[in-house]
Chain A
Amino acid sequence: MVAITLFILGVAPPLGLLRKKLGYSASALGSVAMIYTGIELHTLGVVTIFYIAAGLAWLFSSIYSMSYDHYTWLAPLFSLSVFGMAIALTASNFLAFLTGYEVMTIPAYVAVGLHRKTDYPAFLFMAFSELSTLLVFAGFLYSYTLTWSFSFQPLAAAWPALLCSLGFMIKMGILPFMVAEWLPIAHGNAPANMSSLMSASMTLIAAYGLVKMILLSPGSTAFGYFLMGIGAFSVFFGALYAYVSGHNKALLGFSTIENSGAFLTLVGVFLTAPTHLLSMFALISAAVYILAHTLSKTGLFLLAGMTESDPSSHSEKAVGSLSLSGAIVLTASMSGLLPTVGGVATWALLQSLFMEAYVLHSSLAVFPIVAGSVVAMGEGFAMSTMLKFVLFSGVFRKGGLRGVTRSVTVLAVGLTVLAAGSLIYLAYAPFLVSNTLGVYGIIASKFAGEPFGGVSPLYTLLLPLILAVLVFAFTGKPKTRRSEVWNGGTAIDDRYTPFAYSTNVRLMLGKVLFTRVRNDAVEVSNASWLILYRLSTLFAILSKTLSRTYMNSRLGWYVVYMVAALIVVTLVVMI
């Protein structure tokens, strides 16, 4: 089945060159095959979740693209990127994975370059992607020296996984400096269907690679705490920067960093958990988090594509009620609210951290407690951020953008997220408890025999719905009449803006955000990006100084340089 899937996805790029719709149709068909492959290989455990999440995301993006694509080269580039991801996802050896990893990256670079007239976002994406590939390549090379095989095999040392993890974390936008602004810049400057691939599916591939390498390696507790720390840090700052972001798609980009942080935190719990059961719970939850993020982020980027003509915060475009209904569910999921799959993932994340603290019951418990508290704050910001997105996409700011295919696709993603929330208990097979007090399908979080907590996602959907119907039946339908909005008795000349929505936090957390108030304008800076920018500037000055002082076409200095280089290379080889 894997071969058939790859074949279908492989023929999509040339078909896309001939006719766009043909290419996208082939990609959609291949995505369905990928979902089927995932279901067929259900014995692979968490891998199945990755396959299904990827397949669903590609399927929705492909269908949406059929009515979205007005670009010349986008169809083959999109299909090629999907093909690359499929290769990486199904790879059984390093070479195939690296090939897929590069095949998915290069078309995305070209798409960003063709979409925007400035080179900056495309180059930025390429630079960080290649740095990621380089580190993953180094990790694979190290693995090869341990096993003398290109296949994914159990490893005797943790270093290859550490190197690869750093590479994958760059792809997720976590490194360098935990909350790197390069990802929102790059993802925000691609066409919407490509943005959804970059932010949802490419992040999924990086997460998959990271899990795969960690599962093959001996566990490292220290590395686990490192992941937990930077994961929690990224959850908070990713959500905070998303909240104050003035650009709709950049907001979603920062949200991707936040979700990647949550995933890393769960991997951290997996590595540091004192009991096997807790470790297993954290691993399943990490995969569920990726499923929630992949589906929801796909839908939200597709929605952003419908309002993107003016990406500034003063855009007046807003979607109609069909896609808005889907958007409400998607943002609820990204806010970590039950009964969506994102709610289950957030519940599992917090349960994992605090269960670990309970089991450790020592000074080491400070790590999961602090991480859990920071994650809780980040989740609070995530909800405010998602509210901002959905309010100004169609709830507060009204619109009626048409486009049946695109609207129905966004709604379908929303319904899928809701259905996934109710069905996700199937993924937690070892953690299910039988019918208790009239409730079925309870996922029980456990670190040993007795449950720590429990939730029934299906009942959190059904119970409020049934009660709402009862309340309606009891109180009756309201008698209504239409009128102008009251708005304090004044006419609405200017609308409240998304920028104003976040200004309280810009001022309240001024020291964290480096807020500057100039001529009635409030500006904030991303600290990590500032550090990176200043380091790059320093490096550029240093290079310029070196090149003018020593590499200035004087033969003498070249000889000195070559001798020094020879000595350094010799020393490195000897070591």
Chain B
Amino acid sequence: MIEQIVEAIIQVTGAVLLSPLYSGIIDKLKGMVSMKRSQSVLQPYHDLTKLMRKKTVIPYDATWLFVYGPYFTFAIYLAISFVIPVVYPSPVFLTPTVDFLGGALLFSLVAFVKILCAADSGSNYVALGVSRIASFGFLAEATLVTVFFGVALATGTNNPYVESHYALEAPNYLSLDHLFATVSFFLLWLFETGRLPVESQGLSELGMVDDALTYEHSGKPLALLKWGSYLKSYLLGSVWINVFLIPWGGQLGVAGALADVGIMFIKWCVLIALTLAVETSFAKLRLFKVQDHLALAFVLSVFSLLFSVI
């Protein structure tokens, strides 16, 4: 049991500490490809440190939800990092808390709480962004659920660790259901992390989606919300890498868990390269076209389900 607790600590710590780094690397490389003088890869850490020291401005009407909600959202992301294979390739301490579907429901819980925290400010701009997020939620949640079940139907279990082992074999890896699920999850990851072609970052009224959720926050709660976003990007990206794209290479044991942190970095380089290619090749979709992107992801995930059982 102690060994599993140590492995869990390494997994969670690795996810929490390294998640801002990957975002920093992507931003740095994007700047380089665009021939711009770009920020340091450590910029997200500088931002978080600065925000942690800053005072928090609370709107007059806001309640405890606005101030303390971000602590809870960050905690849910931490809980998720116990249960899905984001560093270590075998179940760790507290992993059986939820299965793959339960993990998807926890991601939805974070979205729910984040929206409540943001809307508690009473800002119309937040409400505008929230209404946009809610408009796409039905396809995003459905894709997350169906893509997780795509591999569950192939393996006969909803345990993500078994699923990652299943894909180790070439016939399984190259099967149509696995390929459809892989593409579908990547499209979903682009949406969930607000990357092009469905970019949701920015404070322009016309395109503001995800940033509406942090629009009125400042100081520590904003730092936790931002860190939570990095963590979410890391968790979903790592699931995609470990279960779908590159299931190989995981090492067992405590020493193996430490090595897995480095191995994950190498694996993440592939995802960063892919993201960079997409982000520098595609134009931003108009707001209502985002549903087409998600509809494609959803249809592919349903195909994955169908191919896995028929």
Chain A residues in the interface with B (C-beta under 8 A) = 239, 243, 321, 328, 332, 335-338, 343, 346-347, 350-351, 354, 357-358, 360-363, 365-366, 369-370, 372-373, 376-381, 383-384, 387-388, 390-391, 395-398, 436-439, 442, 445, 450-456, 459-460, 463-465, 467-468, 470-472, 475-476, 478-488, 492, 494-496, 500-505, 507-508
- Contact in complex: B61, A439 (CB < 8 Å): no
The A-contacting residues of B in range 72-114, CB under 8 angstroms, are: 72, 74-76, 78-79, 82, 91-102, 105-106, 108-109, 111-112
CA distance A436 to B60 in the complex (A): 47
Contacts of B99 in A (CB 8 A): 453-455
Q: Which residues of B contact A321 (CB under 8 A)?
A: 63-64
User: Residues of B contacting A464 with CB < 8 Å?
Assistant: 72, 75-76, 78-79
A219 → B minimal CB distance (Å): 22
Q: Report if B152 contacts A (CB, 8 A).
A: yes
Closest-by-CB residue of A relative to B149 is A354
Query: Which of B194-202, B265-273, B302-310 contacts its partner?
Result: B302-310
Q: How far is the CB of B75 from the nearest CB of chain A, in Å?
A: 4
| Residue among A239, A357, A468, A492 making CB contact with B71, cutoff 8 Å | A468
A501-B101 CB under 8 A given contacts A437-B4, A481-B57, A487-B125: no
B10 within 8 A of A: no
Given contacts A437-B94, A464-B75, A468-B72, contact A485 B60 (CB under 8 A): yes
Chain A hits for B95, CB < 8 A: 437, 439
Least CB separation from A466: chain B residue: B75
> Contact: B309 with A369, CB < 8 Å?
yes
Q: How far is the CA of A483 from the CA of B216 in the complex (A)?
A: 11
> B310: which A residues are within 8 A, CB to CB?
362-363, 365-366
Q: A436-B96, A508-B135 are in contact. List 8 more A-B contacts (CB 8 A).
A: A378-B138, A398-B61, A442-B96, A453-B159, A460-B106, A475-B52, A482-B57, A505-B134
A-B contact pairs, 21 of them (CB 8 A): A239-B138, A328-B116, A338-B98, A350-B145, A354-B305, A358-B153, A360-B309, A362-B309, A362-B310, A372-B146, A376-B142, A377-B138, A390-B116, A391-B119, A452-B156, A470-B75, A471-B75, A475-B220, A484-B60, A485-B216, A501-B127
CB distance from A521 to the nearest CB of B (A): 18
A481 with B58: CB separation less than 8 A: yes
B288 at the interface (CB under 8 A from A): yes
Q: How far is the CA of A380 from the CA of B59 in the complex (A)?
A: 30
Assembled-state Cα–Cα distance A478/B59 (Å): 14
**Cβ contact within 8 Å between B291 and A508:** yes
Residues of B within 8 A of A381 (CB): 137-138
Q: Is B55 an interface residue (CB 8 A)?
A: yes
Partner of B139, one of A351, A370, A380, A486: A380
Judge whether B60 and A478 touch: CB under 8 Å.
no
Measured in the bound complex, the distance between the Cα atoms of B79 and A467 in whole Å is: 7
B309 nearest in chain A by CB position: A365
How many pairs of A and B residues are in contact by the CB < 8 Å rule?
287
Please, how many angstroms separate the alpha-carbon atoms of A380 and B104 in the complex?
12
Whether A380 and B220, one on each chain, are in contact in the complex, defined by CB atoms closer than 8 angstroms, is no
Q: Contact partner of B305 among A335, A369, A480, A484, CB < 8 A?
A: A369
- Interface contact B108-A351, CB-CB below 8 Å: no
Contact pick for A350, options B101, B116, B140, B205, CB 8 Å: B101
Contacts of B58 in A (CB 8 A): 480-483
CB of B61 within 8 A of CB of A361, answer no
Pairwise interchain contact B108-A472, C-beta atoms closer than 8 A: no
Check A478 against B56 for contact (C-beta < 8 Å). Answer: yes
**Residue from A343, A370, A377, A456 with most neighbouring chain B CB atoms (10 Å):** A377
Q: Which 6 A-B pairs have the closest CB atoms?
A: A453-B158, A380-B138, A380-B141, A496-B127, A468-B75, A453-B99
Instruction: Check A380/B137 contact, CB under 8 A, given A336-B105, A347-B101, A481-B57.
Output: yes
Q: Does B229 contact A (CB under 8 A)?
A: no
Chain A residues near B220 (CB, 8 Å)?
A: 475-476, 478
Query: In the complex, are the beta carbons of A483 and B96 less than 8 A apart?
Result: no
A387 and B134 form a contact (CB under 8 A): yes
Q: Are B94 and A373 in contact (CB under 8 A)?
A: no
Query: In this complex, what residue of B is CB-closest to A336?
Result: B105
Q: A319 CB to closest chain B CB, in angstroms? A: 12
- Minimum CB–CB distance from A101 to chain B (whole Å) comes to 35
Does B55 contact A480, Cβ atoms closer than 8 Å? Answer: yes
- Chain B interface, >50% SS class: helix
Residue ID in chain B nearest A236 by CB atoms: B138
A439 is contacted by which of B57, B96, B125 (Cβ under 8 Å)? B96
Minimum Cβ distance to chain B for residue A269 (Å): 15
Give the chain A neighbours of B224 by CB distance below 8 A: 471, 475
Which A residues lie within 8 Å of B122 (CB)?
396-398, 485, 492
Per a CB cutoff under 8 Å, which of B59, B65, B96, B128 touches A496? B128
A425 to chain B, nearest CB (A): 13
Which residues of B sit under 8 angstroms from A398, Cβ to Cβ?
61, 122
Interface pair B105/A338, CB less than 8 Å apart: yes
Query: Once the chains are docked, how many angstroms separate the CA of A484 from the CA of B57?
Result: 9
Q: Which residues of A contact B306 (CB under 8 A)?
A: 365-366, 369
Max chain A CB contacts within 10 Å: which of B98, B128, B310? B98
Q: What B residues does A370 contact at CB under 8 A?
A: 302
Could you tell me the distance between the alpha carbons of A195 and B102 in the complex, rounded to whole angstroms?
32
Contact A347 B72, beta carbon cutoff 8 Å = no
B250 at the interface (CB under 8 A from A): no
Q: Which residues of B contact A391 (CB under 8 A)?
A: 115-116, 119, 127, 130
List residues of chain A with CB within 8 A of the CB of B94. Answer: 437-439, 459, 463
Q: B281 at interface (Cβ–Cβ under 8 A)? A: no
How far does the Cβ of A436 sit from chain B's closest Cβ, in whole Å?
A: 5
Chain B min CB distance to A435 (Å):
9
Question: In the assembled complex, how far is the CB of residue B301 from the closest CB belonging to chain A, in whole angstroms?
Answer: 8
Is the Cβ of A337 less than 8 Å from the Cβ of B105? yes
Determine the distance from Cα of A373 to Cα of B97 in the docked complex, in whole angstroms.
Answer: 24
Residues of B near A508 (CB, < 8 A) are 135, 288, 291
Partner of A492, one of B97, B124, B153: B124
| B172 is an interface residue with CB less than 8 A from chain A | no
Q: Enumerate chain A residues within 8 angstroms of B293, measured Cβ to Cβ.
A: none
Docked Cα-Cα span, A445 to B100, in Å, equals 12
A347-B60 contact given A365-B309, A380-B137, A387-B112, CB 8 Å threshold: no
Q: Is the CB of B115 within 8 A of A505?
A: no
- State whether B124 touches A456 (Cβ < 8 A): no
Q: Please name all residues of chain B whose beta carbon is closer than 8 Å to the beta carbon of A480 when the two chains form the complex.
A: 55-58, 67, 219
Q: Is the CB of A481 within 8 A of B55?
A: yes
Determine if B109 and A332 form an interchain contact, defined as CB atoms under 8 angstroms apart: yes
B61 touches A384 (CB 8 A): no
A495 and B124 contact, CB distance less than 8 A: yes
Contacts of A453 in B (CB 8 A): 99-102, 152, 157-159
B215 contacts A by Cβ under 8 Å: yes
Report which of B62, B68, B76, B142 forms a contact with A373, defined as CB distance below 8 A. Answer: B142
